[in-house]
Amino acid sequence: MCKVRFFVFPLLVFVSFFSMADNLPNVYRAVGLLDTPAATKKAGGFFPKGMDGSRPNQPPPNINLWNHTNGAETGLARYDSGYVATTTLRGTALDWLGTHLGNNGYIYHIRPTPNFIDVNNTLLRYSPHPAEHEAASLGMIHWDQIVGWERVEYGRVHPFENNRDYNAQRYGGIVQGIPNVQPQLAGFPAGHVAWQREPWVAFANCTSTSSSAYALSASSSCSPKESSESYGEEFFYKQNIGRWLPAAISPLLLDN
């Protein structure tokens, strides 16, 4: 009787992880036909355009959220972006697939981690594409945090397929404050009017003698106290490694 209880308990714990993960919100990424599950697995996940995979656990060189969201003239991310775009709404991902990829490709369902930034609530009125409801991943999205995917063929959505490599034990318990609101990562250009206003003024130096954001005149000039790269590196190491990766491997990642 004791042996039966010994084996049943781990099974219940294992099942609970998957149940918990299934009840938590995902984010979604629309990609083209070349980003098959096999190709994405081989790559290790999704990388920002500004990262090549050689140093996946180091912060990307360009952490400017403003530049990322404004993107290139094609409507896609800049060549040097340090973020991977996802959306909090599956319908938005499907619409994007139709608009940009001819209704052919994949919708990946992803468990967000603390390195995901809530673009609309970070940039507020200055978010250039609020209808996209973007959650921007600072750095890569790992293959084992992808819950599964849907194949879309000429607008027809195929049944959802589970990712057998999804690590529910690692990602299933992350529930609070994701995506994050991080005004210090906004990356507005120096002199942009946003630096005069809350919440960004707390991270700016202004020529006005007043310490109140509401007292700053239209002629005041403000610029960030630190670069977006400096703020971003601090955030990356604090959130991406310190908070959610297993403690046993975090020091190894810091050295890679």
SS (H, E, C) the chain: CHHHHHHHHHHHHHHHHHHHHHCCCCEEEEECCCCCHHHHHHHCEECCCCCCCCCCCCCCCCCCHHHHHHCCCCCCCCCCCCEEEEECCHHHHHHHHHHHHCCCEEEEEECCCCCEEEHHHHHHHHCCCHHHCEEEEECCEEHHHEEEEEEEECCEECCCEECCCCCHHHHCCCCCCCCECCHHHCCCCCCCHHHHCCCHHHHEEECCCCCCHHHCCCCCCEEECCCHHHHHHHHHHHHHHCCCCCCCCHHHHHHC
Q: Residue 204: beta bridge partners?
A: 224
Q: What tokens appear for 76 in the block? A: 């896609």
Catalytic residues: 134
